[in-house]
Structure 1
Amino acid sequence: MNPTDAFWQTMRQFRDDTLAVQLVLLLGYCLAIYRIARKPGRATDAWVKGILAVAFFWNGIACFLHYFWASLIARVLAGPLFLVIGFLLLVDMLAGQKIHFTFALSPARRAASFFFILLAFLFPVLGLLTGHGMIALPTAPCPLAGFTLALLAAAVPRVDGTIYALVLVWAFVNIPKVFGFMDCYEEVTLVLTGFYALMTFKTIRPHGVAVVRT
C-alpha cells in the first residue's frame, strides 16, 4: 500500500472508531461559538480554552500517538506539539488568562472570523469534493487547528503568543498538502486560516487594538 492510501485508511479508521467522541467535541465547538457570541467573559474564556485543550489532548494522544504511531512526524512533531498546545491552554485557563475570546470586532474582522470558522466546519465537505469522502471531520487535527486559529485571530491582541505561534507551526507544516501531498487538498482551509491569523497578529497586536464594540 502506498503512503497516501495508508494515510487515508488510517484516518478513516480513526474516524470510525472515535466517531462518538468526535461528535461530542463538535458539540463543544458549537457551544464555544455560541458562548463567545452571546456570553463573552471569563467564564466563556475558561469554557472555550477547556474545550480546545481537551480536543488538542485527544488528537495528540489518540490520533497521532496511537493511530499514526508508525509515522515519524506524528511521533516526534505532531503528537508532542498538540500535547504542548493543550497543556498551555490549560495553563492559560487556570492561571494565565491572557486569551480573551470575542466577536465584538469591526464588521470586516467579524465577517472574516466567521468565514474562517466556517472553513473548519467545511473541511470534510471539501474532502468529499476532492474524491476521498468525508473522512476528516471538523474535530480532526487540521480542522481543529484552523478552528483554533480563527478564534485566536478574533481575540488578537489579547492572546498568548506562544500558543498562537505553535498552532501556526502546524498550519504551515501542512503547506505541501495544498499542492497534492497525501492527496489532501482540503488543507488549503487550514493554510489560508494560518496566513490570515499571521497577518492579523502582525498588523493588529502591535497597536493593541482588539475590539470595536457597537
Structure 2
Amino acid sequence: MSVSATPSMASAAVRARMVQRLAAQGVADARVLRAMGTVERHLFVDSALVNQAYEDTSLPIGLGQTISKPNVVARMIELLLGAPALANQPEERLGRVLEIGTGCGYQATVLSHVAREVYSIERLRGLHERARVNLRPFRLATVHLLLGDGMIGYAKGAPYAAIIAAAGGESVPQTWIDQLAVGGRIVAPTQSAAGGQALVVIDKTQAGLQRSVLEAVHFVPLKSGIA
C-alpha cells in the first residue's frame, strides 16, 4: 500500500539530491531530469520502504515485481528521447508511448511529463489495480492503464513513437516492432549472448531496423498471458 507524503520525503530537496546524483551518473537530458525531480517516487512504494524511495536501488512492489532504480528509469527514458526523430529538438515531447509492464505506475507517471500520451499495459491484475490507485490523485488524462498481455502490445493505440519495456525476454517481440511508427524507437532489456540481460535500442527507419546493444541490466522476465 502506498503512503501519503511525509515532510521529509515530500520535500523538493530530497528529489533534488536524487536528480543531482542522476546528473553525476551521466543523465543529461533536461526533460528527463525535470520529470524525475517532479514525480514523488515515495508515493509508489510500500510504507516500510519509503525511506529508501530516493536511493538508487530497485524495490519490491509485490507479486515478485520491482520498481526500477531511478537511474535505470532515467537512462531508458533518455534513450527514448534520443531517437533520431527528436534530434536537435531539446524541448520536444515524445508522441504516443507504449509501456510494457506498468508495475506500480511510477515510470508511466514520469513518462507523462515527456510524452504527449502514454499507454501502459500490465499483465498482473494486482499490480494493474495498484497502479490505478497510485495514479488516481495525479489525474493524468494522457495516461491510459491497460490490463493485458504486454507481449502482444496494444494494437488499438498504434503506431507508437516509442515503446519501453520493464521486463526482459529472449528477444523483442515482432508485435512491438509492427506497432512502432517509422522513426520510432524501442528501448527494452533482452537476453544477451552471455546469458544475462542487456539494454537494446531498436530504431525503425524507412530503410529498415537499426539495432544497438548497450549495457548489462537486470529486469524481471517478460511473460505472456494475464494473471
TM bucket, shorter chain: 0.3 to 0.5
Task: Say which structure, 1 or 2, has more relative contact order (CA 8 Å, 6+ apart).
Answer: 1
TM-score (norm 1): 0.34
TM-score (norm 2): 0.33
**Higher strand share goes to which structure?**
2
**Higher helix share goes to which structure?**
1
